[in-house]
Structure 1
């Protein structure tokens, strides 16, 4: 057999390399569209592959349900006059006699400074005994003490004033300007006012979440909802614990995009289009706009709506397909809501695979050409 001439050496080498490439496969960022569709339930796989349309976007538009229970919302504001355990009061008692029960020989009034309300809500007044103070206003307490002393001294006159108090406080921690314990005062009876007192939130307001813990109950709202919905600006109670933290939701971006990473949400409601933009968008030379996939474990009630079924139970694996080249593709991507733990995956364009093939072929042919040049073939 005669050896191949130089004229046919390069084409034969190219064909040989193409054969090897076809047999071994090219490097990939991940599965291509054909491989993803091959894993669908329709092809005996374990995931439902669903093309996104208007009905699907409506069925899957689920966002975190945050809010306060009726116990939080319906609680009335504390008045500045209400006495609470821990408050410190000052009492002045006048007696209509020269030598009264409490007054000395030089006057007919007695001053009791810094009478602290105990943990049970009571104070002790000489000759009146233990008197319930917590839950009463200073005027109501004055009437109680007067009625107790009325049987022992003629026409007593009582004054009750607030000296200080540490019973009506709340604690603020997390992403606020000043963490600490703050008293509930006249200007800071509501949640938003107390946050302002603490220096406001120090993270992006759009992703700030506020948790209020009251005894064994807790509620959580978005920071912006305090201003969009005044009913959520709840009245505070002594002992409330307020936590300000950043939204912890995130999605994973993979495939032919500008960035591959686990990405935190930057807004309360994140669409597929916004998620793509958040990681830098598609890459013109490698991304396939017809192959945008969202992988998700969908609750059975939503999966049944999406698939038009009623028999599915438990979480289901769903793969949503977005084709940005369709006439309404960008609108659908704008309306499709990304949820926590979603995986956003973009396949490589066929052109990118072809480019890889050409690069491998040319890289292999170049040494042959160099040999021919050196030998003068």
Structure 2
């Protein structure tokens, strides 16, 4: 009697409490939209691979790409100027006795865009070029000293700067100068990226807008090498795109994607393949939140809002491996493999036989 009671208890426990790696195939199906759940169960076929397969890429908007390069000679507030004046008299307005030229102290353009030059007064400098400013100062001084000769140079172009931060060799605030007017040139000015270029992502923040591009896309497409603007923030970081592998696989982990495009077969192989003693090859799921436009095409009917999709890959079908090879994995996907039905039976039988042995031992002790 004791043995039968214990075996009955074990059977009841096995039905609801045996350890496992996750939900069974039938339990996932029970959560489908057709059965009152909130996930669409979709068997992958050629139509699905065509409509659901796209690899979102980074890139800059038209506004970023259409922005013209900053004029390297344009003067801005914050720039430091060097001004020299030559006069054709021995005792000039600015020159000391016996000297024919005056090198004015380096002058910084103030926040209003103005500078002050002795005897020429306050002059608007921002928005001008050194040559135009030179002419303006010359005109102002001509009425006070005969035939003045003026030179104007930008000593430091700190009025047009870009902040470069993140995974670069040398973070800092860099001026936009003639050699550093584009994104790639500014990254080179900062010493290049300090991580593997294949996993590096560059974000440019401009006002309330932001654009993002991978280093490989920056190299491969000239349109991504955008012109920088004053005040831009350039951030370099490691690509965070990934998928998660769970269930009856060789490993259960979060797998970085980087800039790679991989399919379901490659995703399974990256974590050690199917666990041969556990996995159900008819129950390979790719769980994904699908955008409205893609979900409508996959389902063949209009839907509204993001949809939860459970794509089913049956690797035992004649074309199952081909379909899995053609089905692309995206950022945020969960690849889940269910356990084969017999695995639970094995666990149940193991629990029963093990407990039966325990019952025999208890019975012998009781005698």
Q: TM-score, normalised by structure 1?
A: 0.84
User: Matches of 2:208 and 2:34 in 1, distance apart?
Assistant: 48
Q: Distance in 1 between matches of 2:39 and 2:154?
A: 68
The equivalent of 2:111 in structure 1 is 119
Deviation, 1:109, is 2.4
> Mapping of 1:135-174 within 5 angstroms?
135-174=127-166
The within-5 A match list for 1:196-345 is 196-310=188-302, 312-345=303-336
SS at match of 2:185: helix
Secondary structure of 2:106 counterpart: strand
Q: Which position in structure 2 is the counterpart of 1:359?
A: 350
Distance change >3 Å, CA 332–CA 23, structure 1 → 2: closer
Structure 1 residue aligned with 2:24, among 1, 7, 32?
Answer: 32
Rounded to whole Å, the distance in 2 between the matches of 1:162 and 1:187 is 15
Q: Larger deviation: 137-146 or 337-346?
A: 337-346
- State the distance in 1 between where 2:338 and 2:306 align: 25
Task: Decide whether the 8 Å contact of 2:242 with 2:258 is kept in 1.
Answer: no
Q: Which residue of 2 aligns with 1:6?
A: none
For residues 70 and 44 of structure 1, the distance between their equivalents in structure 2, rounded to whole angstroms, comes to 43
CA RMSD, 1 decimal: 3.1
Unaligned runs of 5+ in 2: none
Please report the TM-score for the alignment, with normalisation by the length of structure 2. Answer: 0.86
> Secondary structure, in 3 states, of the residue corresponding to 1:104?
coil
Structure of larger gyration radius: 1
Does the CA contact (< 8 Å) of 1:207 and 1:268 recur in 2? no
CA distance in 2, matches of 1:327, 1:61: 21
How far 1:209 moved relative to its partner? 1.7
Q: Distance in 2 between matches of 1:24 and 1:184?
A: 67
On the 8 A contact 1:17/1:364 being kept in 2, the answer is no
Question: 2: CA distance between counterparts of 1:106 and 1:200?
Answer: 51
Q: Which residue, 338, 343, 350 being the options, matches 1:347? A: 338
Q: 1:330 to 1:205 in 2, by over 3 A?
A: farther
Deviation at 1:49, TM superposition (A): 0.9
User: 2:23, 2:342 → 1: CA distance?
Assistant: 15
Q: 1:178 aligns with which of 159, 163, 170?
A: 170
Contact 2:290 2:309 in 1 (8 A): yes
